[in-house]
Amino acid sequence: MKECRKCGEKKGLCEYYVHKDMLDGHLNICKKCVKKRTRDYRINNYETCKKIDRKKYLKRREAALKRQSEYARENEKQKYIGWIGNILRRAIRKGAMKKHPCSVCGEKKSQAHHSNYLEPYNVIWFCDYHHKQWHRGNKPVYPKNLVRDIKTLNT
């Protein structure tokens, strides 16, 4: 139990915010009083708080827009890579291409690995384990203009 410096009530430590600089590791004012103090300050200093909030918003917005554009750029590449996978699956379904066992261990349940996404039918067949092993030791090589080149493949 701890006594609040503002309201004087004795409350459990869960009613106080954690504060590393205090001896007991908790603020001397209870959560209820801190919230009231913050609310009163924001009402009495509306314009100042509005300016500070606007600065914080713009800073967060800029970072969010940067993340969104990076995600969109990466996601665009993934979208086209997915198209290449669809081309291969369609060829297997139509019988134009045959699924093979893992080229390392011979496991029948295998996955197609594309070394070059511009050649959708040129694949190496790996089981799940060996496919993951391959990616642990190697980084996929994407052609510089992958998105543009794949767009021309589809036309």
Same domain, 59 and 34: no
Our count of domains for the chain comes to 2
Q: Which of 79, 80, 81 is nearest to 123 (CA)?
A: 81
* Closest listed residue to residue 76, CA positions, set 147, 5, 149: 147
Query: Helix axis angle, 46-94 relative to 31-44, nearest 10°?
Result: 110
The answer to whether 131 and 107 have CB atoms below 8 angstroms apart is: no
Residues 62 and 81 in one domain: yes
Q: Could you tell me the residue range of the domain that residue 29 belongs to?
A: 2-44
Q: Which tens digits make up the pLDDT trace of 10-26? A: 999 999 999 999 999 99
**Domain shared by 139 and 67, yes or no:** yes
The confidence band for 145, taking pLDDT boundaries of 50, 70 and 90, is: low
pLDDT band at 82 (very low <50, low <70, confident <90, very high): confident
| Residues 94 and 19 occupy one common structural domain | no
Residue 125's nearest CA partner among 87, 97, 94, 86 is: 97
Position 150 pLDDT exceeds 60: no
Q: What are the residues whose beta carbons fall under 8 Å from the beta carbon of 84, sequence distance 6 or more?
A: 114, 117, 120, 150
pTM exceeds 0.85 for this model: no
Q: What is the pLDDT of residues 84-142, one digit of tens each?
A: 889 999 999 999 999 999 999 999 999 999 887 778 888 999 999 999 998 888 876 66
Residues 39 and 112 in one domain: no
